[in-house]
């Protein structure tokens, strides 16, 4: 944990890379949330930009397919006035046998300042952070089954905007915990921020062996797991990461663990429903709930821009002052 912390923070304790929630202090997470709050209303301005990262170049390195995450990172960088380079991995020199390190060093030679990395291998973002030039920051946009820290932060940001203080909340995370990098990051973020109780709900085959060491309460049925919770976070079944036999069928999974209005009625009347996407309707959540009044799923997408703006600004050492008011021309 100390190694992770030392890699992510500079000598002054400021954020340099954002690779995982694990090892970061509560105040660092609060600083990200507070800074994101200052960016949240930029979308309502006539010119949706602030000049904090003008002259900086952000490179999106997505070795896995993505729509929401890549797009919101790109929008976040552009709203900070950075230049953005999207590398198409399938047509890059990497597809011709160029090593990852050679690709990085070539990008460094082009005077880039930040790499946003999504990769199928756990630990890829850490490897890159350990091997880049000192002036470059690395943001983990999801690595294997390990971590997705900005998703966890936008989720906690959404929760805070609806529920305020974390201390009295009960949060339930439901579904495929085993294969979900989102769930791991969410659990670390929620516990670091002092959420009253974090529950995980799912079949034994979809829970990690070390779940109890994460400080969560485990439930194998929705009835007891959802009772009295303030927040319900549904997860997508990670079929692409499963090795057969973990589930009888998607239909049976929905019957037992899919979120319906009937099951949601077990939670508090003002409970909110979240999902990191993409949604599989009729598998982990019904359309009635996904599109219902307690769903904040689209808000999560919007909040992702503000959170990613905050992380980028902090990692490149640019804290907003008077200039957060946006550009006038």
Binding positions for carbamoyl phosphate are 68-69, 118, 148, 151, 277-278
Contacts of 86 (CB under 8 A, 6+ apart): 59, 60, 62, 70, 74
Q: What residues are paired with 234 via a beta bridge?
A: 174
DSSP symbols for 24-87: --HHHHHHHHHHHHHHTTGGGSSS----TTTT-EEEEEESS--SHHHHHHHHHHHHTT-EEEEE
* Cα–Cα dist 47/49, whole Å: 6
Feature table: binding site:
68-69, 96, 118, 148, 151, 181, 236, 277-278
Q: What residues are paired with 85 via a beta bridge?
A: 59
Both tokens of residue 34? 């507070």
Q: Which of 271, 17, 212 is nearest to 131 (CA)?
A: 17
* Cα–Cα dist 317/322, whole Å: 16
* Cα–Cα dist 226/174, whole Å: 9
Feature table: binding site for L-aspartate:
96, 181, 236
């Amino acid at each position: 944990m100390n190694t992770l912390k030392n890699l992510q923070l500079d000598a002054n304790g400021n954020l340099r890379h954002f690779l995982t929630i694990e090892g970061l202090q509560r105040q660092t997470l609060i600083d990200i949330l507070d800074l994101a709050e200052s960016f949240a209303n930029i979308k309502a301005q006539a010119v949706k930009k602030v000049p904090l990262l003008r002259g900086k170049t952000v490179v999106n390195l997505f070795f896995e397919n993505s729509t929401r995450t890549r797009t919101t990172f790109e929008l976040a960088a552009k709203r900070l006035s950075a230049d953005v380079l999207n590398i198409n991995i399938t047509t890059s020199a990497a597809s011709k046998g160029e090593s990852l390190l050679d690709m990085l060093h070539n990008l460094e030679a082009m005077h880039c300042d930040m790499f946003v990395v999504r990769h199928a291998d756990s630990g890829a973002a850490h490897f890159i952070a350990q091997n880049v030039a000192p002036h470059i920051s690395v943001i983990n946009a999801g690595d294997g089954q390990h971590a997705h820290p900005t998703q966890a932060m936008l989720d906690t940001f959404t929760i805070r905007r609806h529920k305020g203080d974390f201390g009295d909340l009960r949060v339930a995370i439901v579904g495929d915990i085993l294969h979900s990098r989102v769930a791991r990051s969410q659990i670390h973020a929620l516990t670091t921020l002092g959420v009253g109780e974090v529950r995980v709900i799912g079949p034994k085959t979809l829970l990690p062996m070390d779940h109890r060491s994460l400080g969560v309460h485990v439930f194998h049925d929705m009835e007891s797991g959802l009772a009295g919770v303030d927040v319900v976070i549904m997860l997508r079944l990670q079929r692409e990461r499963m090795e057969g036999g973990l589930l009888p069928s998607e239909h049976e999974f929905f019957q037992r663990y899919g979120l319906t209005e009937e099951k949601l009625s077990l939670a508090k009347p003002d409970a909110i429903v979240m999902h990191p996407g993409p949604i599989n309707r009729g598998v982990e959540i019904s359309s009635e709930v996904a599109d219902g009044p307690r769903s904040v799923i689209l808000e999560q997408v919007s909040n992702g821009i503000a959170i990613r703006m905050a992380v980028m600004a902090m990692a490149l050492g640019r804290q907003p002052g008077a200039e957060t008011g946006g550009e006038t021309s």
